[in-house]
Structures are given as C-alpha cells and as structure tokens.
Amino acid sequence: MENRTPAGRTGRPRSAAADAAILAATREALVELGWSKLTLGDVATRAGVAKTTLYRRWAGKNELVVDAVAELFDELQLPDRGTLAADIEGVVLQFSAILARPEARSGLMSVVAESTRDDALRERIRCSIVERQKRLVMEGRARAQQRGELPPEANPGQASSTVDLIFDMVAGAVIHRTLVSAQPVDATWVQRFTTVLMGGLAAAED
C-alpha cells in the first residue's frame, strides 16, 4: 500500500503494520456495524492502536473507508493468459470475486452513496480507486498491441480517453451486475460480456 501521509506533516515514519491493521479493522467494522454506526474509536480498538494514530493518518471516516476499500481493489492483477479475450475474462472474474466480499460490497456502496453530497469524497474515490485501477486497462491494451491483437495508437492523444471508456464499460457493467441487479458474474456471463466488449474495441480501433 502506498504511503498516504498528508504533505507537510512530520514526525515518526508511518508503520505499515499499523496501517494494515487499521484498514483491516475498518473493513471488519463495516461488515458488522455498517456505515452509520462505524466510528474511528471502534476501528482504533479493533486495530489495537490509539485513536490519535488514526487521526494522524486520516482526516475522518470518509477518507479511512475509501482507503480500506481501495486496498481490496489493489489486489487485482492481470496475468498474461495468452489472448486479450482471456485476459479480460480473468480480470472480470477477479473483480466480481472482490465485489462479492461483504467488506468490499458494504464499503463501496457506502462511500458512493456518501459521495453524492460530498465533492471531496468523490474526488478521493476517483484518485484512490478509479485512477489506480486504470493501470489494468493500460497494461492489457499494451499487451494486446504487442501481440498484434490491437493496432498501435493511431492518435496517441486519444489514448487516455480510450482507456477511460474501456474502464467505464468494464467497471460499470460488473458493478451493476453484482451490486445493483444482484446477478451472478459466472463464466457464461463473462464470456458473453467479453465478446461484446471485444466487438466494441475492434470497432473503436478501426
């Protein structure tokens, strides 16, 4: 996990073990208590740290919960499965497996709901979760280009917008399927989704 110590603060170096314990305790509290009843005091007790330790790291509950959820999505990997379609299927199945975890589901739904009236929280979600996970799209697209499955960038200036679009399509479809429609993301659905996405990618690259 990357160091998120706010700029300008000095003192002893942060403890990675304490950070990990705090974020794990936050996820545990989310599942057991829910967003409304979760407090930094309860998280501190569960993590075995002083409450002041949390406030030195996070300004409040919103920031803490976003980072606790972001750590789960940082587990996503994009192993080389030989083809772009197989790579997509693999990461979609990983993504849905994370969303199936109670701590991910509770945390993500909570912060998204809160962000509708909190611009700063929405920006933290974008930076800590969305932008960080776009790495998977960039990695998969570059790998497909190296294999010859996708052509090189015809217009490098449009690369960022294409990455944004692909990420939105994948994340939006999987989140809606799992958290809104409450339908399974099984092998059959993933194959059908990948076929549709691949068709769109081919058209976009023409």
CATH of the domain at 174: 1.10.357.10
Judge whether 2 and 20 are in contact, CB under 8 Å: no
- Give domain status of residue 112, yes or no: yes
State yes or no: pLDDT of 5 exceeds 60.
Answer: no
The answer to whether position 4 is within a domain reads no
Q: How many Cβ atoms from other residues are within 10 Å of residue 77's Cβ?
A: 10
Range of the domain at 47: 16-64
Q: Please report the sign of the dihedral spanned by the C-alpha atoms of residue 54, residue 64, residue 139, residue 99.
A: positive
In a domain, 5, yes or no: no
Contacts of 61 (CB under 8 A, 6+ apart): 38, 39, 40
Does the pLDDT at position 89 exceed 70?
yes
Quick one: 110 and 185 in the same domain? yes
30 and 90 in a common domain: no
Looking at the fold, whether 60 and 76 belong to one and the same domain comes out as no
Can you spell out the DSSP letters for 21-71? HHHHHHHHHHHHH-TTT--HHHHHHHHTS-HHHHHHH-SSHHHHHHHHHHH
| pTM, two decimal places | 0.83
CA distance 32 to 192: 36
The count of domains in the chain is 2
Asked whether residue 85 falls in the same domain as residue 169, the answer is yes
Q: Could you give the residue ranges of the DSSP H alpha helices within the chain?
A: 16-33, 40-47, 51-57, 61-73, 84-99, 102-115, 119-125, 131-147, 159-175, 187-205
CA distance 102 to 30: 9
**CB neighbour list of residue 118: distance below 8 Å, 6 or more residues apart:** 62
Domain end: 64, 82, 99, which one?
64
Residues 132 and 55 placed together within one structural domain of the fold: no
On whether both 76 and 106 belong to a single domain, the answer is yes
Cα separation, 25 vs 31, in Å, equals 10
Mean per-residue pLDDT, 164-184: 94
Instruction: Establish if 185 belongs to a structural domain.
Output: yes
pLDDT above 90 covers a percentage of the chain that reads: 71
Answer whether residue 8 is part of any domain: no
> Given pLDDT bands bounded at 50, 70 and 90, which one contains residue 11?
very low
Asked if pLDDT for residue 197 goes beyond 50, the answer is yes
> Does 28 lie in the same domain as 119?
no
Give yes or no: residues 94 and 118 share one domain.
yes
